[in-house]
Amino acid sequence: MSAIRPRAAWMTGLLASAAMAGLLTAAPAHAVAGEPVADGEYAFTAQLDIDNGMRSCSATLVQQEWLITAASCFAEDPAKSFKAAPGAPKWKTTATIGRTDLTREDSGTVVDVVELVPREDRDLVMARLAKPVTGVEPVSGIATTPPGKGETLWAAGHGRTKDEWVPDRLHAAPFTVDAVDATTLRLESPDASVCQGDTGGPAVQRLSTFRVLYGVHSSSGQAGCFGTDESEKRRTASETRVDDIAGWIKAVAARTVLPRVNWKDAVQVVPGHFVAHNAGERSDLFVVWADGSASLFEGSGQEDPKLPFWKEHKLAAAGSYWKDAEAVTPIGVGSSDTDGVAVRWRSGKLSTFEAVNEFGFAREKTLAYRDSWKNARSIAAGSHTDEYRRDDLVVLWADGSTSMYPGTSDNGISKEIQLTRADKSREGAQITSGRFTGQKADDLVVRLKNGRTDLFPGFGARGFRDGVALRPEGSAWKYAQPLVAGSFGSGGKPDLLARWNNGNLSYYADVDASGARTEVQLVG
């Protein structure tokens, strides 16, 4: 199978000739790889200009700061080897992303590639951008299982068409999976081809609005591509598999996702299982920023304890209604397998969102709306009773008293159980729920503003009895703003995440009744 070699530099001269200009200004032709796509479709597909026209390839935006493409695009001689050197690319490389029509400069982003991270065992490389891309959604996800023979994948790219050497528009077409090998997929089509310039582009499965990446264009028979002899070519394509190395892709992308934001501006930090395909793995992280914008950091599922998140989803812009959220906690609501959130708003309203995921928020339900809720200093949701088999809500009030609302997610605020009366020692404290000790009921962690932090095992059945001191009064934990429970390590057990007042971010693994021993520094 012949390689899809990137376009040669001599095309620059040809494009200036009258003959080629006439061809390029003719009526648009259907691409061999399929129909020209609608504006905004497959916007995660990038065009790569390598060494000012020496080569042209395609790529896929998998995270705001990372592309994935074919390593052969950067190889010295792609016909002999796909190997690419790690580090800064040898040739200046510019990526145009989110521009379905390359002639429209009012859309998309143009940014340089500054680092290559090749995969040694296949024609694949991760390419880091000089700055994160905004306004363009990365591909929805990375496949974790191979496609079956006969399944349909859609191939997209900025390469040649049947009668255009350098088309202005992205094109795509369906292909059928013919075979799956150790590191490659073989695709075939009766009437479409992957052509030169498509190298490195995506092969995705279309699931409703989701686009899941299964492969990256590596080589092709190129039947029907401009400048080829139809009779001597085949309509097959070899794709580099990504499903068996999804963890590696996420680990590379995870290196940059947390350090690039200012964590001093994180006013609400809320761990939970929000993204459906991450359910049961590491926590995702919902964050409300000081300017009222909101983000969701998707869990990576990595073994490396320092790489808990790999992608940031922008959920709300600056000035959104999230600027009025004064206490937020994850909570199980409705019939979803993922978490929602309970929110105490500045107005005194308490509500839940059943769905909080990479697409935003849905199904808000008002639980209470009265002035007294303005005094709810901190809230925590967990399985503290078995009365309703739903999350209960524990509330720490401004005067240091505490209450519990059993089965909140199903029954609203209808039954309050007062646990303790006003206590000045708990004024300004913060609470979070997690199953640290493995008891039937979730445990409650209470951090006082003086740094003392206690764990109350099986809270609900036992209340504030038999507390275990995690940190004494005067400890550095007084600077944790906030301290929240989630699953960030590879063991699947609850950890405690701290956003420190100096902007650092870390979590404590192996938290149980004997203490919190191991700190993992994420930022700082």
| Residue at 281 is within a domain | no
Sequence-distant (6+) residues with CB within 8 A of 438 are none
Q: Do 220 and 331 share a structural domain?
A: no
| Confidence check: pLDDT of 213 > 90 | yes
pLDDT computed for residue 301 by the predictor: 83
pLDDT tens, 135-184?
A: 899 999 999 999 999 999 999 998 766 666 566 789 888 999 999 999 99
Q: Which domain holds residue 93?
A: 11-246
Position 223 scores a pLDDT of: 63
Dump the DSSP string for 442-497: PEEEEE-TTS-EEEETTTTTSTT-S-EEEE-TT-GGGGEEEEEEE--STT-S-EEE
Question: Which of 246, 280, 302 is the last residue before a domain boundary?
Answer: 246
Domain stop point among 218, 246, 274: 246
Q: Which residue has the tokens 């040739």?
A: 91
Residue 430 covered by a domain: yes
257: enclosing H helix or E strand = helix 246-257
**CATH number of the domain to which 159 belongs:** 2.40.10.120
How much is the mean pLDDT over the chain? 86
Give the pLDDT mean for 458-486: 91
**Number of domains forming the structure of the chain:** 2
Question: Quick one: tokens of 504?
Answer: 């650092």
Predicted confidence (pLDDT) per residue in 341-396, tens digit: 999 999 999 999 988 888 888 889 999 898 999 999 999 999 998 765 678 999 99
DSSP type of residue 107: S
**343 and 235 co-located in one domain:** no
Locus of tokens 């686009």: 211
Rounded Cα gap, residues 455 and 432, in angstroms? 10
| Rg of the Cα atoms in the chain | 27
pLDDT tens per residue, range 93-148:
999 999 988 878 778 899 999 999 999 999 999 999 999 998 899 999 999 999 99
pLDDT above 90 for 249: yes
Are residues 356 and 220 part of one domain?
no
| Per-residue pLDDT reduced to its tens digit, 18-32 | 222 211 122 222 333
Q: Which two tokens stand for residue 491?
A: 């063991």
- Domain ends where: 216, 246, 276? 246
Q: CA–CA separation, 471 vs 476, rounded Å?
A: 8
Same structural domain for residues 338 and 198? no
466 in a structural domain: yes
CA distances from 418 to 327, 397, 404 (A): 20, 11, 6
Are 330 and 238 members of one domain? no
pLDDT above 60 for 5: no
Quick check: is 500 in a domain? Answer: yes
- Claim to verify: residue 196 and residue 336 sit in the same structural domain: no
Q: 187: pLDDT confidence band, cut at 50, 70 and 90? A: very high
**231/369 same-domain check:** no
290 inside domain: no
Residues 179 and 54 in one domain: yes
- When pLDDT is averaged across residues 403-420 and rounded to a whole number, the result is 81
State pTM to two decimals. Answer: 0.87
Residue 94: C-alpha distances to residues 4, 218, 250, 493 (Å): 20, 20, 23, 43
Same domain for 227 and 349, yes or no, is no
* Residue 4 located in a structural domain: no
Q: Return the structure tokens found at 177.
A: 């999976």
Read off the pLDDT band of 233 (50, 70, 90). low
Does residue 157 lie within any of the structural domains?
yes
DSSP string, 15-36: HTSHHHHHHHTSPP--BTTBEE
Per the domain annotation, does 217 fall within a domain? yes
Stretch 187-208: mean pLDDT: 88
400 and 491 both lie in a single domain: yes
**Separation of alpha carbons 261 and 522, rounded Å:** 12
Is 45 a residue whose pLDDT tops 90? yes
